[in-house]
A = this chain, B = another copy of it.
Amino acid sequence: MAVVDRRRQIVEAAEKSFALFGYKATTMDHVAKIANVAKGTIYTFFANKEELFDEILRSVIIEMKKITEQEVQDDRPFFENLYQSMDKLLEFRREHELLVKLFQEVRDFGTPQAREGLEKIELAILDYLERQIDRAAKHGEIREFDPKVIAFVLVKLYIALTSDWNKIHEPLSKEQIREFSQIFLSGGLSKT
């Protein structure tokens, strides 16, 4: 009990600190202080700062998976599930303090660990998406193509419409994004 509690205290303190200050500005001393624990104790649970960070990331990934799985219903068409999941995921990314902070840290300082952290999360999303696509293809819902590439392009398309676009233009509404996705995904640009 005592051991478990200490671990939790540390993880919770680290969560707060990473979300508030980012990776670089979070010091082990500070985490120890918030957790009401001596610094050495942290090292009985985590080999180093990066592993502590990894623990937090892993829980974020699990949380994201839960959120998307709530949206997926097997009796609905693949695209419907896809749009819902993507919306939820983007909303999560926008609102989750840790992710917001990490994006900012990468943009402003280029901290490698922050970038690698975000890459890990993106990889987890790609992996999850890939399996969804594979399943949809096997169910005959979409054409069969390399699911890895499809997943990759889908994510890029979504990021392009939701994030990249806003750097030079007024943000697109949810409805517009949905419409454009449908054009490219279900319809295609072609008129015929």
Q: A residues bordering B, Cβ < 8 Å?
A: 79, 110, 140-143, 145, 148-150, 152-153, 156-157, 160-161, 164-165, 169, 172, 176, 180, 183-191
Among A142, A152, A156, A188: residue with most chain B CB under 10 A = A188
User: Would you call A191 and B156 a contact (CB within 8 A)?
Assistant: no
Residues of B within 8 A of A161 (CB): 149, 153
Structural contact, A149 and B184, CB atoms closer than 8 A: no
**Contact assessment for A160 and B152 in the assembled complex, using a CB-CB cutoff below 8 Å:** yes
- Complex CA gap A165/B110 in Å reads 21
Closest CB of chain B to A111's CB: distance in Å?
Answer: 13
For chain A, what secondary structure do more than half of its interface residues adopt (helix, strand, loop), or is it mixed?
A: helix
Chain B residue numbers with a CB within 8 Å of A165 are: 149, 152
Decide if A169 touches B190 in the complex (CB within 8 Å).
Answer: no
Q: Which residues of B contact A145 (CB under 8 A)?
A: 180, 183
B183 close to A143 (CB less than 8 A): yes
Known: A156-B157, A157-B157, A184-B185. 8 other contacts (CB 8 A): A110-B110, A143-B191, A149-B176, A153-B160, A153-B161, A153-B184, A156-B160, A185-B190
